[in-house]
Amino acid sequence: MEERRLRAADLFRRGVIPAEIARQLGVSHQVVSEWRKAWRQGGRGALRSAGRVGRPAKLSTAQLAKVEKALAKGPEAHGYVTDVWTLPRVAEVIERLTGVAYHPGYVWYILRKQLRWSWQRPARKAVERDDAAIEHWVKQRWPQLKKEPGASTR
């Protein structure tokens, strides 16, 4: 929208009529009239964007960098038993480092959108896993348990 308003400012300066500006920019005549009034009062700068809307961020860029650096050390460095980050754990670390409390559900937004982290699954297999027993079960036991078509249920 800011780009449209600035194009309108150029057209105002060249003396183009509001109806033609509305047609060229794909906006209503009323919108062009509001822009023209602002342009007359404050010039081209009055048509610039007012900036970010909504609630200001709770964490500064420096705080986010501090959090990211701490998270990169891993969960075990922060006293957790396993080496897996969970949203509640990340929320605790953020609060401990910055004093800002977030709901764990919102922590995902911070990780994904602000820190550009992605969701990962642990690449490890269970320590108790017995590949030979699994293969035996799949080849020997599973076929015995599988229900044959048309067989009655016991």
Check whether 151 has a pLDDT greater than 60: no
Residues 6+ apart with CB under 8 A from 152: none
In angstroms, the CA 153 to CA 62 distance is 66
Q: What is the pLDDT of residues 77-136, one digit of tens each?
A: 999 998 889 999 999 999 999 999 999 999 999 999 899 998 877 666 777 888 888 888
Check whether 153 has a pLDDT greater than 60: no
Shortest CA distance to 35 belongs to which of 53, 48, 24, 26?
Answer: 48
pLDDT of residue 84: 87
Count of beta carbons in the 10 Å neighbourhood of residue 9? 21
Q: What is the pLDDT of residues 43-57, one digit of tens each?
A: 888 888 777 777 888
